[in-house]
Amino acid sequence: MSSELRAGEEAVELPERTDAGVYFIGVIHTPWRTRQECPKRGDRDGPICTIAVDERWRKGLAGIAGHKRLQVLYWMHQARRDLVLQTPYQRETTGTFALRSPVRPNPIAVSLVELVGVDGAVLQVRGLDCLDGTPLIDIKPEHGARG
């Protein structure tokens, strides 16, 4: 996490403690190792990525193969969390909540992905836009998207 600010950016002091806990239920594996390599949005024609669900949550995947599209929520673990104003590359300064930037107080992201396959506690999907090793928060079927 870089502490450098671009022109117009503003950081705030983070609270002393968090307000809630999150259980990471698995890990996401993608081809991207750095933010520079990672696409800004997932591509339905992009590479197949793997979601490895922790064994304790495996039974929670029962019936998931019947859904063709899933919402995947994940924790952008390498993102800074203190910017309220951001200056995206070659764009004007904008408030954090008006951007899809990973830099936010709670770096939670969601991607709508195509389910390609299921093998036990491992899902194969297309459409992710996160770094390899990203912690998984949740998986939800897209409403009405049954196979």
CB burial readout 118-138, b (16+ within 10 A) else e:
beebebebbbbbbbbebbbbb
DSSP readout, 32-72? --STTTS-SS--TTS-EEEEEE-GGGGGGGTTGGGBSEEEE
- Write down the pLDDT at residue 54: 97
- Write down the pLDDT at residue 2: 62
User: Amino acid letter at 18?
Assistant: T
Q: Return the domain boundaries, the chain.
A: 23-78+105-141
- Identify the CATH class of 23-78+105-141: mainly beta
- Write down the pLDDT at residue 137: 98
Check if the beta carbon of residue 9 is closer than 8 Å to that of residue 90: no
- Write down the pLDDT at residue 41: 76
pTM of the shown model: 0.88
| Residues lower than pLDDT 50 in the chain | none
